[in-house]
């Protein structure tokens, strides 16, 4: 059984993208223990694959690059769309490329599955047409929240299952104790206005830090998107805050996904704006307070029965809400319940995926 895991890999600086890959592998190995996996992502593009829409059309006609033969070698195309890229919120070119390669696989009669993910929003007619084609060409469409399921239904293709994020399919880590509050500060929100006012986000983070220190909590800064040439990473801002607070904050830069999950599993609490920092926490039974910057947070967390999602667009009130949530004496108990709920939701995938072979 040869499976192509699309739009995830084991080397991405974004640990959320790695979590999608690891969750996919661990989940699918329970179905096919001898499965072989190949990754395809922007940072790990096979030689025979082209991202160019014109190149894809040319390759479909001529086969000169060998992409047709390469795709034919797989028994399953597992399409993660990086968790939240089945949408045009990151630009139409990205959506177009991912949709065309999905189409390429479907035309080569490789079974295609849209893995559990966020579906939508689709802001343009072209975007909706591409998405409609994708869902109708897929053997299975799996949504990770009810809002995504509704978006697929509007495209004329009800989902086969509303489940949860693939992170709940990852085998449990060995906890690395020694940390109280892990604070994940998003480099994207700190510097870019793409998802809100950076000045407001900075004030929120500073208020959360000051409030936690006043409560006697120990804080460790915890990047979840590792350092790279891409400015969208969490390490520079973590180091900046570490220096500014002159030793009052700890700093742990994860070596890899396994290290990150071990640190998270041994912590008392995670606060973060990277959704997978929070999901990694809940999947290990560690409480997480999410600073939501897009629609993908609330419905997914809601299905887990996890209410601690604070709208990062709420201005200075967001910090007060986060600090109030940290005072909840039942956080740990509720996190274990969310972990169990996530595992139950994901377990429902197995018989559906098995039936595609």
**pTM recorded for the entire structure:** 0.91
DSSP 168: G
What pLDDT does 25 receive?
A: 95
Average pLDDT over residues 151-170: 96
DSSP 256: S
Which has the closest alpha carbon to 342: 294, 300, 286, 296? 300
pLDDT digits (tens, 9 = 90+) for 28-58: 999 999 999 999 998 888 889 998 889 999 9
What pLDDT does 356 receive?
A: 77
**Contact indicator for 346, 27 with CB cutoff of 8 Å:** yes
Instruction: Reduce the DSSP state of residue 281 to 3 states and report it.
Output: helix
Give residue 125's pLDDT band: very low, low, confident or very high (50, 70, 90): very high
* Gap between the terminal Cα atoms of the chain: 10
Instruction: Reduce the DSSP state of residue 69 to 3 states and report it.
Output: helix
**Dihedral, CA of residue 94, residue 100, residue 106 and residue 108, to nearest 10:** -130
Instruction: Reduce the DSSP state of residue 212 to 3 states and report it.
Output: helix
**Cβ-based neighbours of 66, under 8 Å, separated by 6 or more:** 48
Q: Provide, rounded to the nearest whole percent, the portion of the chain with pLDDT above 90.
A: 84
pLDDT digits (tens, 9 = 90+) for 213-260: 999 999 999 999 999 888 889 999 999 999 999 989 999 999 999 999
pLDDT digits (tens, 9 = 90+) for 169-214: 999 999 999 999 999 999 999 988 777 789 999 999 999 999 999 9
What is the C-alpha separation between 47 and 70, in angstroms, rounded?
A: 10
What is the C-alpha separation between 109 and 111, in angstroms, rounded?
A: 6
**Contact indicator for 175, 27 with CB cutoff of 8 Å:** no
What is the C-alpha separation between 115 and 213, in angstroms, rounded?
A: 41
What pLDDT does 351 receive?
A: 86
> Where in the chain does DSSP place strands (E)?
2-6, 36-40, 76-79, 112-117, 140-143, 161-162, 179-184, 219-221, 250-251, 267-272, 288-292, 309-311
What is the C-alpha separation between 69 and 72, in angstroms, rounded?
A: 5
Q: Which two tokens stand for residue 170?
A: 């990852």
Instruction: Reduce the DSSP state of residue 130 to 3 states and report it.
Output: helix
Find tokens 């072989």 and name the residue: 36
Q: Which domains does the chain have, with CATH numbers?
A: 2-162 (3.40.50), 179-342 (3.40.50.2000)
């Amino acid at each position: 059984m040869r499976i192509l895991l699309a739009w995830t890999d084991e080397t991405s600086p974004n640990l959320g993208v790695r979590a999608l890959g690891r969750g996919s592998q661990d989940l699918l190995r329970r179905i096919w223990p001898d499965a072989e996996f190949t990754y395809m992502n922007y940072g790990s593009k096979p030689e025979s694959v082209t991202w160019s829409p014109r190149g894809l059309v040319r390759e479909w006609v001529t086969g000169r690059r060998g992409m047709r033969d390469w795709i034919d070698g797989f028994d399953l195309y597992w399409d993660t769309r990086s968790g939240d890229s089945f949408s045009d919120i990151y630009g139409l070119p990205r959506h177009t490329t991912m949709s065309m390669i999905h189409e390429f696989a479907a035309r080569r009669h490789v079974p295609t599955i849209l893995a559990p993910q966020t579906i939508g929003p689709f802001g343009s007619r072209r975007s909706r047409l591409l998405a409609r084609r994708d869902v109708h060409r897929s053997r299975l469409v799996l949504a990770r929240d009810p809002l995504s399921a509704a978006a697929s239904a509007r495209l004329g293709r009800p989902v086969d299952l509303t489940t949860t994020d693939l992170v709940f399919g990852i085998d449990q880590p060995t906890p690395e104790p020694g940390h109280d509050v892990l604070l994940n500060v998003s480099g994207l929100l700190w510097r870019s206005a793409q998802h809100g006012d950076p000045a407001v986000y900075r004030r929120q983070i500073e208020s959360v830090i000051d409030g936690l220190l006043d409560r006697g909590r120990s804080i460790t800064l915890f990047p979840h998107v590792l350092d790279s040439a891409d400015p969208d990473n969490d390490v520079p801002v973590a180091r900046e805050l570490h220096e500014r607070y002159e030793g009052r904050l700890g700093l742990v830069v994860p070596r890899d996904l396994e290290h990150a999950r071990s640190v998270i599993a041994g912590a008392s609490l995670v606060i973060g704006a990277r959704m997978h920092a929070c999901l990694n926490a809940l999947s290990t039974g560690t409480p997480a307070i999410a600073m939501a910057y897009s629609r993908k947070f609330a419905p997914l967390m809601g299905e887990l029965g996890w209410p601690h999602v604070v709208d990062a667009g709420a201005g200075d009130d967001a910090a007060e809400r986060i600090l109030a949530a940290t005072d909840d004496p039942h956080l740990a108990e509720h996190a274990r319940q969310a972990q169990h709920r996530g595992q139950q939701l994901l377990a429902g995938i197995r018989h559906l995926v098995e039936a595609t072979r």
